[in-house]
Structure 1
Amino acid sequence: MARVTVEDCIDKVENRFELVLIASHRARMISAGSQIMVDRDNDKNPVVSLREIAESRLAPEDLKEDFIHSLQKHVEVDEPEAEAVPALIPPNDGLRSDAIGDIQFDRMTEEDLLRGLEGLVPPAETEDDGD
């Protein structure tokens, strides 16, 4: 096929700099294994991408959107905001309130902890544990 020039593509993408950006992005997509929309004819990927744009096989707006998306590091997702749940005041069973910020801690003596640990049963051995 005849040579493709910027003038062949300028009616599809008016800004030459934008044309270079989206054509190079498309060439990278082709290198990564994307399906080619025109015959290759021993052309390299940048020429194939320009030919695709010149022959209107791809929409320049779609390429531009895809290029912008590929550059984004953080993509915002529109998710519904969580509804505020009213705070519940826990009962004061075994909890003490400290003076700093009214933070509550569960208090347990060392003897209570040891009694709790003594009541634990070791896990039963299985056939796999014997190996």
Structure 2
Amino acid sequence: MARVTVEDCVERVPNRFEVVLLAARRSREIAAGSMLTVDRDNDKNPVVSLREIGDGTIDIDGLKDNLVHSLQRRVEVDEPEEDNMAALMSASNEWAGVIQENLTEETFSADDVGATDGEASAADTDVDDPFDDN
């Protein structure tokens, strides 16, 4: 990298730290396949990007906008959880009511169903003396 190239860049962009940021961003663009505006001459991407900035063959304002856009963080905005929680609570209360109604309707005793498989119903057994060996 020639000293002349860096001095040319500082004439176009007064802040040398900004030159570094812009050249790095342009180098990444070149590596991604962006078209070159100067001849490569066996130079690496950072040198080519500095030559482009120094020669003024690229739009510096567009490069700055691209740099700012690439450094911004994107935060996804979700819906407030309170609204979702209220909907979930009402839905769970509805299900709880349905389950409670079903439990009261479907409760059966052994007398209602009847004894099966050789078991005697409560009316057929001697309930008075459970310890009787008859």
TM-score (normalizing by structure 1): 0.56
Tell me by how many angstroms 1:32 deviates: 1.5
Q: Spell out, residue by residue over 1:65-90, the C-alpha distance to the aligned partner (whole angstroms, 9 max, x if none).
A: 111111112169xxxxxxxxxxxxxx
Greater helix share, structure number = 2
Deviation at 1:12, TM superposition (A): 1.2
Contact 1:4–1:50, Cα closer than 8 Å, also in 2: no
Letter in 2 for 1:53: I
CA distance in 1, matches of 2:64, 2:31: 18
Matched, 1:59 2:51: no
RMSD over aligned Cα, in angstroms? 3.0
SS at match of 2:63: helix
Alpha-carbon separation, structure 2, partners of 1:4 and 1:43: 15
Q: How far has the Cα of 1:56 moved from its partner?
A: 1.3
> Does residue 19 in structure 1 map to residue 11 in structure 2?
no
Q: Hey, what's the Cα distance between the residues in 1 that align with 2:15 and 2:5?
A: 14
Residues 1-131 of structure 1 mapped to structure 2, 5 A cutoff: 4-74=4-74, 105-106=93-94, 107-108=97-98, 109-110=101-102
Rg larger for: 2
Query: How many Å separate the matches in 2 of 1:3 and 1:41?
Result: 17
Give structure 1 regions of 4+ aligned residues with deviation exceeding 3 angstroms: none
Count of paired positions = 88
Greater relative contact order, per chain length (Cα 8 Å cut-off, separation 6+) = 2
The structure with the greater share of residues assigned to strand is 1
CA offsets per residue over residues 31-89 of structure 1, 9 Å max, x none? Answer: 1211111111111101110111112111212111111111112169xxxxxxxxxxxxx
CA distance in 2, matches of 1:5, 1:40: 14
- Identity over aligned pairs, percent: 53
TM-score (norm 2): 0.55
Is there any run of 5+ residues in structure 1 with no aligned partner, and where? 77-102, 115-131
> For residues 50 and 57 of structure 2, what CA distance do their matches in structure 1 show?
10
